[in-house]
Amino acid sequence: MPTRYRPYQPDQDLLLPQRLQDWLAPDHLAYFISDVVDELDLSAFHRRYEGDGRRKSPFDPQMMVKVLIYAYATGVFSSRRIARKLEEDVAFRVLAAGNFPKHRTLCDFRQQHLEDFKSLFVQVVQIAERVGLVQLGTLAIDGTKVRANASKHKAMSYAMLKQNEARLGQEIDDLCTRAGEVDRQEETVLASDDEVPDELAHRQQRLARIREAKARLEQIQADKDRARGRSDDDDRRPRGGGRGSRYARDFGVPADKDQYNFTDPESRIMPTTHGWQQCYNGQLAVDAEFQIIVANRLMANSNDGGELLHVLDEVEEILGQEPQTVLADAGYRKESDFLALERRGVDGYVSLGKEGGSDEIRDPESNPASVRMRSKLQAPDGQAHYRYRKNIVEAPNGWIKHVLGFKQFSVRGLKAAQGEWNLVTMALNLRRMSRLVQWA
């Protein structure tokens, strides 16, 4: 008896069109994102389109936001890939509901609204709190390095900038001298900039960029020095004089190894598990109960020091309260921050490094809060609290890079990258919330 197959008639027409809602399972992530976005305040996204009298109607921001969030939640970050998914992927087509924005439209929309994604991230966190997915009992804070949209090979150290400035200056002088000799020989005079030899113009442009980069590094260093209490007339002596050791460099002079990247000047060379890369440092505050990211920050400093209170301020701004307990690794160790935690009534467990820190940290006169932190961490309860940190915060770091696949920013500049970081963390939260709601 011949085998009987199930009916397969690809050219068969349907008497009635299918509903989009029948294309995906009812608990699909696309529907969850769509439902949440419908509850968000998107006024910031609508504002730029109000009353401009344009002839062509723009795409609905509600649809564009849904598509972008779902794309990031499923590991699709390129605008070209998103545009292709809108043609080929059922979930994308359901969210777009018959709209097919081109990749340039998607890219422009994302770029124009990068700052507005902060308000959406905040609203999503507040929704998670209302449904019981955020408790703020214990909070773990950690940083992760994410590659910038720039190559480390486009970076130059301060020492190399000085060398190139001197070399280009000498080459320009030589070219000007040669040009003057030729002019005298030909009894002509250069009449305008247009007549400047191309070789000379190229070096002048390069020298201008070198000097701009050098000035930028010096300004950054000057800002750092002022934050440390230095002034431009301190003669390398700490404030108050006396027996304090001298500073290694004059005020506003960077270290020779400090780097400037010509593609994304605000990014920095940072150590990663894959060697030194051009990166930003993404800070995450993760609630222990369901591992929801309740605050995030982005900075261009590989050192996490000094960020602990900034992240806690973000949490309080978003949720109106601080956590009962906060956990962080040794990168956040700072005496003034420990004192601030005690004043705020936050029970902190912050590592002091290997073997409990240096002798200076153990000095109860100069670092009393660090001494108290050391005692807490040595107690059995403190050790149990701190061991819990990895289980809370390192998983979301891994999900961002290895589940979503987000390992490099698509935009340049700290402000723009912060906007994309908000989009990434919001997308991860919604993906996580979708699973948690199903299990509830």
CB of 284 closer than 8 Å to CB of 143: yes
**Is 429 part of any domain?**
no
Give the separation between CA 157 and CA 214, rounded to whole angstroms: 9
- 434 — pLDDT class (breaks 50, 70, 90): very high
**113 secondary structure, DSSP code:** T
Task: Mark whether 300 and 394 lie in a shared domain.
Answer: yes
Q: Tell me how crowded residue 381 is: count the other CB atoms within 10 A of its CB.
A: 10
Q: Is the pLDDT of residue 194 over 50?
A: no
**Domain termination site, one of 61, 83, 113:** 113
Task: Give 121-162 pLDDT, tens digit per residue.
Answer: 999 999 999 999 999 999 999 999 999 998 888 777 777 767
Q: Give me the long-range contacts of 186-189 (CB less than 8 A, separation at least 24).
A: none
CA angle 148, 149, 153 (to 5 degrees): 85
**Is 396 part of any domain?**
yes
H/E run at residue 309? helix 308-319
Structure confidence at residue 207 (pLDDT): 73
Share of the chain above pLDDT 90, in %: 55
Task: Give 354-409 pLDDT, tens digit per residue.
Answer: 755 565 667 777 889 999 999 999 999 989 989 999 899 999 999 999 999 999 99
Which residues on neighbouring strands pair with residue 286, listed in sequence order? 140, 293
Name the residue with higher pLDDT: 26 or 85: 85
Nearest one of 292, 327, 299 to 312, comparing CA atoms: 327
Coil, strand or helix at 99: coil
- 171 — pLDDT class (breaks 50, 70, 90): low
Task: Give 33-90 pLDDT, tens digit per residue.
Answer: 999 999 999 999 998 888 765 556 889 999 999 999 999 999 999 999 999 999 999 9
Task: Work out the end-to-end distance of the chain between its first and last CA atoms, rounded to an integer number of angstroms.
Answer: 50
Task: Mark whether 299 and 317 lie in a shared domain.
Answer: yes
**Is 383 part of any domain?**
yes
Q: Give me the long-range contacts of 230-239 (CB less than 8 A, separation at least 24).
A: none
Q: What are phi and psi of 429, to 5 degrees?
A: -60, -45
Question: Distances in Å between the alpha carbon of 44 and those of 37, 112, 117, 151?
Answer: 13, 11, 9, 33
Which residues on neighbouring strands pair with residue 280, listed in sequence order? 146
**Is 350 part of any domain?**
yes
**Is 48 part of any domain?**
yes
Structure confidence at residue 122 (pLDDT): 97
Mean pLDDT score across all residues of the chain: 86
Task: Mark whether 284 and 254 lie in a shared domain.
Answer: no
In the Cβ-directed half-sphere of 319, how many Cα atoms lie within 13 Å? 29
Structure confidence at residue 349 (pLDDT): 94
Parent domain of 160? 155-239+247-261
Reading the block at residue 361, the tokens are 């940290």
Task: Mark whether 278 and 359 lie in a shared domain.
Answer: yes
CB of 330 closer than 8 Å to CB of 348: no
- 93 — pLDDT class (breaks 50, 70, 90): very high
Task: Mark whether 216 and 365 lie in a shared domain.
Answer: no
CA 427 to chain centre: 14
Assessment of whether the complete model's pTM goes beyond 0.75: yes
Coil, strand or helix at 305: coil
Structure confidence at residue 36 (pLDDT): 96
Coil, strand or helix at 24: coil
**Is 257 part of any domain?**
yes
Task: Give 267-324 pLDDT, tens digit per residue.
Answer: 988 998 889 999 999 999 999 999 999 999 999 988 898 899 999 999 999 999 999 9
Structure confidence at residue 149 (pLDDT): 92
**Is 86 part of any domain?**
yes
Task: Mark whether 70 and 31 lie in a shared domain.
Answer: yes
Task: Give 278-291 pLDDT, tens digit per residue.
Answer: 999 999 999 999 99
Structural domain count, the chain: 3
Task: Mark whether 310 and 212 lie in a shared domain.
Answer: no
